[in-house]
Amino acid sequence: MFFLMALSLMVGAQQAGAIGEYVQCPCPPGSPISAETGNIECTIGTQEIACKSLTAGDGYIKMADGSDTYIFGFSDVTGVPDSDIMSTGMLAANFSAPTISVREGQEFYLSLTNVGMAVRPDLFDPHTVHFHGFPNASSVFDGEPMASISINMGSTLTYYYNLVEPGTHMFHCHVEATEHMQMGMLGNLYVRPAQDGTSKTYNGKTYTKFAYNDGDGSTGYNVAYPIQMVAFDPAFHFADENIQPLPFADMTDTYAMLNGRGYPDTINTDVILNVNGAASQKMNALITATQGQKILLRISSLATVDFYTLTVLGIPMKVVGQGARLLRGPAPDNKVLYYTTNSLTLGGGEATEVLLDTTGVPTGTYFLYTTNLNNLSNDAQDFGGMMTEIVIH
């Protein structure tokens, strides 16, 4: 079945190369776009379906110190007619990329259109989506170009994912990965568990949303936030924009960010416009909760140079998952391996789930930040960087 699905979508990709943009989604025309996930969602028979459309191209973002930075990136064109995808997606790169949120049990169709590089028309780079750490239905959908398809300018490929396991992942372009990831082709991605929507009571509190299928409600939460650690080297971005040799060996990230922003932009709930007036940074990193609620942080790192350590002052961090796996021992004991800490260190490609219990925590503002103190700056500007606020009401 997976082979036939792969063959069908490969034919679609071949068609795309000939006729241009060609988005594939099994849902009937006019199916609604979910306000929660931004996906087109429907049910065919008993099978839940989710569809999303992205473009890959270039653009600019506004850094927290006010400077403009050239990037490669993705933008969301879900629901946009095929004939309008190129014009909508050009110079529309977002950083971080549009978040992908899906549910265990769904079949997910992700269409990626390569709209080309408007600022660098000399580049003909293909692009892919790599769903990092996920057991793909077929290697053709992995996004790693030696084992799968990469997408040339003016073409679309629809990836197929059979979502059989929950957890926090991430996605990025895997073509010329060091360059394309440094340039900004990075995004949050997570799979919500099938247990969501059921009611479970744990330690006297009832939850309907969970990090994993824990069976006992121990990963229950009230509010959730994806937090991705990323960083830029401005000299690398300047060289790429101005057709200069790329300094791979000298890559030094001096803009450390959460969800594509440095502090204080991390707590700015507005969309940030770039030098062209386009909405290039739509995602903030502000965390808010009501006292007594439990917060789930889906923390991932796609930093290409350094490891980073995150800490929260005043609220213990309970780690319940690592690498898209619930921290429990094997059956039949299923021993809980959750642990409490005050800091976490992640390298590029790692992800973890952390619960913050605000029961008994005084109302006020707390800080989530890196203990790598040299990264609490926006390049040469002090008092910024990889930091955000947790506001307890």
Q: Can you tell me the distance from the alpha carbon of 140 to that of 147, in angstroms, rounded to the nearest whole number? A: 6
Contact 128, 150 (CB under 8 A): yes
Which pLDDT does position 16 carry in this prediction? 39
- Gyration radius from the chain CA atoms: 21
Mean pLDDT of 42-67: 98
Q: What is the pLDDT of residue 9?
A: 45
List the one residue out of 132, 123, 164, 130 whose CA is nearest residue 149: 130
Contact 151, 141 (CB under 8 A): no
- Is residue 14 pLDDT above 80, yes or no? no
What average pLDDT does the chain have?
93
**Cα dihedral 209, 211, 216, 220 in deg (nearest 10):** -50
> Which of the four pLDDT bands, split at 50, 70 and 90, describes residue 20?
low
The yes-or-no verdict on residue 26 having pLDDT over 80 is yes
Amino acid 333: pLDDT: 82
pLDDT in tens, 302-346: 999 999 999 998 999 999 999 999 999 887 788 889 999 999 999
In this model, does residue 287 exceed pLDDT 70? yes
Task: Tell me the C-alpha to C-alpha distance, in Å, between residue 22 and each of 16, 94, 232, 287.
Answer: 5, 22, 33, 38
Helix (H, G, I), strand (E, B) or coil at 115: strand
Q: Three-state SS for 5?
A: helix
Digit-coded pLDDT (tens) for 140-170: 999 998 889 999 999 999 999 999 999 999 9
Distance CA(62)–CA(261), nearest Å, equals 9
pLDDT at 74: 98
Local structure of residue 266 (DSSP, 8 states): G
Distance CA 98, CA 47 (A): 25
Interval 75-108: pLDDT, tens = 999 999 999 999 999 999 999 999 999 999 999 9
Residue 4 scores a pLDDT above 50: no
- In CATH terms, the fold of domain 2-392 is Immunoglobulin-like (2.60.40)
Residue 231 · residue 261 · CB < 8 Å? no
**Nearest Cα to Cα of residue 168 among 319, 286, 59, 311:** 319
Please give the pLDDT value at position 27. Answer: 97
Closest CA relative to residue 387, chosen from 280, 189, 377? 377
Average pLDDT over residues 27-43: 96
